[in-house]
């Protein structure tokens, strides 16, 4: 029996069931499964979006722990007639993983390798395993799964199967469907069915195969006439597995594998239990040629000729992506290595094989070809692995880099996956550029030139007229696709933005065949309804994340007066020129704070586990709530009133923000620029204003104020570490973990023990700078001044030995403070006062061109970050321009030929742990450079995220366990594995964590240099 499509106003999968049904579902799941049952508004809101423009609130979320949990959830949902939506990383770009359904998150617990058959080169995996994690396990065997999508650090194999993902090297390896050997999945009636070669199917699967085969026979004429004859076709269901229409057959021998029917089905046919994947030999060698083009059309026209050289990848990076990458400090150095001048576009042309020697002639062939095409000297040859890897990482971040445009207009995904034959690529892109211009926009381009799939996104403002422009552009783009015999959906699937175009592409007869497949496998429409079959209109404003004024519930921001300056985000951008208006002119009722939050496009880059810092709390909890994306989503929902009028300062929001350790990893690693550490300061200021500060808050925040008094009675305060009762009392009263030691107070602080002859006066320092002498300001912070004064004295000795005249800022009572401890507790007004006083003391020195050298990364880098958004004016900018970490200063001076030291050799290994803020500001490399000044030193960087202390975070009893889990993720095991190594860590919290967790001393780089001083160098 045919299931009639829902009305346009209430399409299937977009309307929530009655409240009593939702409540019954939550009760039964809590009683009958072991999984996490999340039905509160904030949790549902975090799963309401993916990386698309859409937002649909789910019924609730289940994070299952066992297969029985999933099977039970399907049964319960079927009983209550609630749809089910399987989800992995939530990175779909077309709305596939949004819906008014029970969302089941596979990514936390279902990430195992179930079987690895090295002889057959297959692996069976659970759907929640991430591609990079799988490939890491395969690498020792010389194998990999070659569907290398740009989101490989966060994309799950189940999600990739649902989308029929492709990746950069599909020209060599094919799509996901070409690399799947089998699948096991639950049907909507609860039966678990194995899908595989048709020659070896069970009764239920054989019946399904027979049904599909009959449909193919029935519609063979339509299939031959209308089916796109390109490899990059992922729309609809893979009906043609029984009559191949792709450039690349589904199987090498022409046989039929029923598992291929599930690939690209977007979770609408069955719920995947496991996937059996075909593996490839890991390429032993690669070389890369980067071709620089003077025009975009020249790049497009060249692709058809380049592919004849047999590359494994030909990837496009256009001018917009080049410029945005150059503006990103994490990407700029890498991109600059690939450029010759300022090209309009570049193509990354990769050749891979058994050894480098055999590949070098292929690079020469590329150089010769470009000469024949009139572009001599246009190729940057990359033979070494490291620069290739770095450039591919930038290319993989291409989509997210493009989404970093400020303002309400953003590049919007809806026609980005159109695939056309290569010989038409240049004409197609020219035609599409004209379409964009007619609608007052411009496209941003990147991706797979090798297979004619270019991810192009016109810049539209979905809050205003973006929806109407989107439809008009799609219709004109569709005409071009048809003209050039291409596919409208070439990689990222159908979802909500391309679902309605399936019938346009294939015609009504084949569309009815698709419906018949859905009814055969899922007759009750349980799995992800409203996708592929009976989808809503692509421009239904009610489904947009930023619903326009014409929608039933338009997107609105609540008025809010921020405590930090977010005006840099409060701008509008011209969609053609990308020029932005002046800061503060964007019309945001929150002064730009909301626009900064809204920069999160849900791409999920924060879910990665590679060498970057982001996001340490997610790495140990794997909870969407404790993820940069999860926090940004919750903030967005709160400041737009979607979680209630007081949600922004609610306990639920505090719980969401609680495990953000302020590492600033997202500031550097997030391609769209989401700075959650700064957002947490903003949130805490509002939250604490409403709820008040605790005694612990005040004690920690005001540490710089009372430190000079406390240092007079250090023996009294240090009793806390030695008397068990004091530890117990500290935890009960202040919430500071009894399992933690606290920093040890001392009476001989830096300021109390200072010898006046060591430091010049301000006037002397300025005069010396004007004379051209070597001068520096040593900024000694609260922690290195009061608790670890040896670090400050070591730094002073090193700099003086290198011939520098030193000055340090002091005041009559206590010392100057950057305001960091106040900011961490939401006391922005107090932080502004302390930071302002420090800047007043430093600005005359900065104006004289004297470097301000700091030891504690979190303190010194506050001068380059938060002080610039605290309303302190131009003087803060002046100081920020001269503020350098100790190692940054030395590295700069060495490069300029001004720094010389005689150092003794070391014969021990050196392990370096970078402070999170050092990583965020790209200040780790200078430490390595400085350590290499020591004869015999071979420093090794520990590939670690946050150490877990993060200021006061790790001292708190409520955070102790999470703090230790962060440390145990990589830092502490690395320290334990090298018992003879010198451990270097510039952060005071990092050193404390290493001492507590590994019982090892870690030293500041200044201390190590001081220890190795031989004789003072001349000035």
What length is written for the chain? 1019
The Cα–Cα gap between 215 and 814 comes to: 83
Instruction: Band the pLDDT of 611: cuts 50, 70, 90.
Output: low
pLDDT of 813 higher than 70: yes
pLDDT of residue 812: 73
Going by C-beta distance under 8 Å and a sequence separation of 6 or more, which residues neighbour residue 179? 145, 146, 147, 173, 277, 278, 280
Q: Which residue has the higher pLDDT, 815 or 455?
A: 815
Q: Which of 593, 655, 662 has its CA nearest to residue 820?
A: 662
DSSP letter string, 517-536: HHHHH-TT--BSTTSSSSPP
Average pLDDT of the segment spanning 330-334? 86
pLDDT of 1 higher than 60: no
Instruction: Band the pLDDT of 598: cuts 50, 70, 90.
Output: very high
Rounded to the nearest 5°, which phi and psi values hold at 275?
A: -130, 135
pLDDT digits (tens, 9 = 90+) for 684-699: 999 999 999 999 999 9
The Cα–Cα gap between 697 and 654 comes to: 15
pLDDT of 264 higher than 50: yes
The Cα–Cα gap between 313 and 724 comes to: 63
Going by C-beta distance under 8 Å and a sequence separation of 6 or more, which residues neighbour residue 526? 74, 77, 78, 83, 84, 188
The 3-state DSSP class for residue 690 equals: helix
The 3-state DSSP class for residue 243 equals: coil
pLDDT digits (tens, 9 = 90+) for 13-25: 889 999 999 999 9
The 3-state DSSP class for residue 456 equals: strand
pLDDT of 1015 higher than 80: no
Per the listing, tokens 């596939």 go with: 96
pLDDT of 679 higher than 70: yes
For residue 920, whether the previous peptide bond is cis, meaning omega lies within 30 degrees of 0, is no
Residues pairing with 983 in the sheet: 911, 1002
Share of the chain above pLDDT 90, in %: 79
Average pLDDT of the segment spanning 232-239? 89
The Cα–Cα gap between 425 and 347 comes to: 14
pLDDT of 454 higher than 80: no
The Cα–Cα gap between 299 and 182 comes to: 39
Question: Please, what is the average pLDDT of the chain?
Answer: 93
pLDDT digits (tens, 9 = 90+) for 420-449: 888 888 898 899 999 999 999 888 787 677
Per the listing, tokens 């199917």 go with: 201
The edge-to-edge listing of strands for the beta sheet with 910-913 is 939-941, 910-913, 982-985, 1002-1003
Per the listing, tokens 């990175």 go with: 91
The Cα–Cα gap between 776 and 778 comes to: 6
pLDDT digits (tens, 9 = 90+) for 834-848: 999 999 999 999 999
Does residue 941 contact residue 912 with C-beta atoms inside 8 Å?
yes
pLDDT of residue 614: 84
Share of the chain above pLDDT 70, in %: 97
**DSSP label at residue 287:** E
pLDDT of residue 579: 85
Q: Which of 337, 559, 318, 347 has its CA nearest to residue 456?
A: 318
The 3-state DSSP class for residue 3 equals: coil
pLDDT of 506 higher than 80: yes
- Predicted structure pTM score: 0.93
Q: Which residue has the higher pLDDT, 314 or 870?
A: 870
Tokens for 340?
Answer: 């010759």
**DSSP label at residue 948:** S
Rounded to the nearest 5°, which phi and psi values hold at 961?
A: -65, -45
Give the lowest-confidence range in 223-237, 782-796, 918-932: 223-237
Q: Which of 361, 272, 356, 241 has its CA nearest to residue 70?
A: 272
Average pLDDT of the segment spanning 933-956? 94
Q: Which of 338, 360, 362 has its CA nearest to residue 348?
A: 338
Report H helices in 195-255.
203-218, 220-226
The Cα–Cα gap between 368 and 377 comes to: 10
pLDDT of 8 higher than 60: no
The Cα–Cα gap between 14 and 18 comes to: 13
Average pLDDT of the segment spanning 647-659? 97
pLDDT of 4 higher than 50: no
Going by C-beta distance under 8 Å and a sequence separation of 6 or more, which residues neighbour residue 839? 863, 867, 872, 875, 876, 879
């Amino acid at each position: 029996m045919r299931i009639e499509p829902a009305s346009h106003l209430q399409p299937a999968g977009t309307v929530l069931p009655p409240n009593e049904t939702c409540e019954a579902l939550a009760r039964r799941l809590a009683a009958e499964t072991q999984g996490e049952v999340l039905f509160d508004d904030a949790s549902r809101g975090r799963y309401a979006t993916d990386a698309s423009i859409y937002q649909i609130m789910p019924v609730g979320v289940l994070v299952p722990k066992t297969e029985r949990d999933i099977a039970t959830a399907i049964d319960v949902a079927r009983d209550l007639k609630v749809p089910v939506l399987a989800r992995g990383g939530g990175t779909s770009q077309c709305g596939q993983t949004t819906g008014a359904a029970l969302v089941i998150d596979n990514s936390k617990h279902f990430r195992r390798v179930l079987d690895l058959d090295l002889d057959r080169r297959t692996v069976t995996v659970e759907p929640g395993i991430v591609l990079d994690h799988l490939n890491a396990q395969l690498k020792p065997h010389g194998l990999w799964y070659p569907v290398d999508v740009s989101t490989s650090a966060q994309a799950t194999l189940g999600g990739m199967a649902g989308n029929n993902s492709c990746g950069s090297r599909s020209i060599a390896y094919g799509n996901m469907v070409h690399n799947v050997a089998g699948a096991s999945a639950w049907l909507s009636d609860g039966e678990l069915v194995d899908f595989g070669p048709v020659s070896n199917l069970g009764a239920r699967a054989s019946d399904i195969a027979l049904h599909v085969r009959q449909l193919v026979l029935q519609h063979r004429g339509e299939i031959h006439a209308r089916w796109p004859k390109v490899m990059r076709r992922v729309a609809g269901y893979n009906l043609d597995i029984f009559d191949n229409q792709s450039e690349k057959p589904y199987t090498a021998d022409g046989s039929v594998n029923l598992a291929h029917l599930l690939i690209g089905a977007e979770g609408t046919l069955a719920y995947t239990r496991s996937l059996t994947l075909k593996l490839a030999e890991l390429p032993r060698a690669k070389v890369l040629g980067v071709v620089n083009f003077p025009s975009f059309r020249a790049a497009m026209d060249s692709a058809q000729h380049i592919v004849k050289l047999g590359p494994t990848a030909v990837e496009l990076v256009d001018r917009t992506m080049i410029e945005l990458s150059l503006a990103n400090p994490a990407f700029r150095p890498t991109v600059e290595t690939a450029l010759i001048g300022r090209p309009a576009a570049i193509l990354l042309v990769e050749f891979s094989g058994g050894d480098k020697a055999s590949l070098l002639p292929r690079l020469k062939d590329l150089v010769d070809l470009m000469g024949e095409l009139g572009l001599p000297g246009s190729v940057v040859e990359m033979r070494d692995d490291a620069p290739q890897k770095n450039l591919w990482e930038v290319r993989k971040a291409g989509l997210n880099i493009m989404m970093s445009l400020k303002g309400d207009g953003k590049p919007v995904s809806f026609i980005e996956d159109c695939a056309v034959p290569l010989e038409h690529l240049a004409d197609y892109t020219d035609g599409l550029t004209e379409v964009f211009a007619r609608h007052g926009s411009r496209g941003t381009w990147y991706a797979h030139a090798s297979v004619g799939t270019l991810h192009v996104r016109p810049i539209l403002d979905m809050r205003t007229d973006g929806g109407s422009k989107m439809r008009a552009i799609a219709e004109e783009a569709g005409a071009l696709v048809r003209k050039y015999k291409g596919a409208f959906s070439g990689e990222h699937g159908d979802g909500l933005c391309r679902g309605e175009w399936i019938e346009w592409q294939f015609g009504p007869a084949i569309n009815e065949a698709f419906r018949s497949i859905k009814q055969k496998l899922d007759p009750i429409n349980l799995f992800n309804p409203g996708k592929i079959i009976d989808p809503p209109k692509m421009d239904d404003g009610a489904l947009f994340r930023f619903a326009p004024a014409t929608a039933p519930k338009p997107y609105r921001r609540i008025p809010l007066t921020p405590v930090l300056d977010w005006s840099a985000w409060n701008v509008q951008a011209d969609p053609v020129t990308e020029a932005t208006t002046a800061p503060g002119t964007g019309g945001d009722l929150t002064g730009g704070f909301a626009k900064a939050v809204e920069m999160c496009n849900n791409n999920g880059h924060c879910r990665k586990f590679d060498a970057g810092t982001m996001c340490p709390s997610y790495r140990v909890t794997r909870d969407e709530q404790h993820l940069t994306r999860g926090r940004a989503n919750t903030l967005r929902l709160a400041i737009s009133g979607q979680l209630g009028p007081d949600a922004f300062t609610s306990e639920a929001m505090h719980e969401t923000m609680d495990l953000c350790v302020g590492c600033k990893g997202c500031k550097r690693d997030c391609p769209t620029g989401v700075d959650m550490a700064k957002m947490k300061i903003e949130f805490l200021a509002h939250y604490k204003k409403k709820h008040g500060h605790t005694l612990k808050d005040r004690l920690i925040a005001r540490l710089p104020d009372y430190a000079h008094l406390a240092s007079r009675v250090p023996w009294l305060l240090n009793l806390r570490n030695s008397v068990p009762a004091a530890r117990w009392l500290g935890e009960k009263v202040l919430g500071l973990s009894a399992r933690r030691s606290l920093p040890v107070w001392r009476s001989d602080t830096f300021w109390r023990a200072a010898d006046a002859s060591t430091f010049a006066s301000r006037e002397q320092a300025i005069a010396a700078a004007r004379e051209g002498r070597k001068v520096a300001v040593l900024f000694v912070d609260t922690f290195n001044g009061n608790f670890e004064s040896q670090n400050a004295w070591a730094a002073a000795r090193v700099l003086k030995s290198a011939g520098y005249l030193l000055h340090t800022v002091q005041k009559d009572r206590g010392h100057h403070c950057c305001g960091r401890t106040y900011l961490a507790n939401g006391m922005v007004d107090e932080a502004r006062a302390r930071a302002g006083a420090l800047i007043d003391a430093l600005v005359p020195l900065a104006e004289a061109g004297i470097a301000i050298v700091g030891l504690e990364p979190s303190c010194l880098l506050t001068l380059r970050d938060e002080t610039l958004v605290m309303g302190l004016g131009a003087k803060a900018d002046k100081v920020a321009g001269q503020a350098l970490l100790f190692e940054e200063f030395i590295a700069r001076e060495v490069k300029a030929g001004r720094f010389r030291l005689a150092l003794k050799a070391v014969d021990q290994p050196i392990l370096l742990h970078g402070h999170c803020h050092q990583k965020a500001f790209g200040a780790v490399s200078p430490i390595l450079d400085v350590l290499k000044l020591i004869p015999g030193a071979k420093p090794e960087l520990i590939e670690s995220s946050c150490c877990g202390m993060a200021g006061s975070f790790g001292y708190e009893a409520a955070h102790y366990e999470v703090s230790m889990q962060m440390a145990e993720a990589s830092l502490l095991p690395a320290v334990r594995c090298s018992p003879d190594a010198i451990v270097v860590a510039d952060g005071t919290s990092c050193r404390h964590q290493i001492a507590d967790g590994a019982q090892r001393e870690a030293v500041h780089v200044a201390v190590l240099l001081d220890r190795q001083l031989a004789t003072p160098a001349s000035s």
